[in-house]
Amino acid sequence: MTGPGGAAWTVGPATVAGPVVSAPVTPAGPAGAYVLTYRVVSDDGDPVTGAVRFTLTVPASP
């Protein structure tokens, strides 16, 4: 995951529960735009990639 100014943010190890993949993200960071990118392999072996974009309007702290 990248945040404001291209800073990298730690994402924990992914877990899979059926069709849902989850990964813990540190709940802290400055206000600004973030991008969480992902890559998974589907049941038929094809890679699937994508990104989730979001914006923090106020800083978040743990």
- 20 forms beta bridges with 17
What pLDDT was estimated at residue 43? 87
pTM of the model: 0.77
**Mean pLDDT calculated for residue range 39-53:** 93
Q: What are the φ/ψ torsions at residue 45 (nearest 5 degrees)?
A: 95, -5
Given a cut of 80, is residue 58 above it in pLDDT? yes
What pLDDT was estimated at residue 28? 84
- CA dist 3 → 8, 9, 47 (Å): 6, 7, 25
Residue 28, H or E segment = none
**Binning pLDDT at 50, 70 and 90, where does residue 48 land?**
very high
Give 3-44 pLDDT, tens digit per residue.
999 999 888 898 999 889 899 887 788 999 999 999 999 889
24-45 as b/e: b if 16+ CB within 10 A: eeeeebeeeebebeeeeeeeee
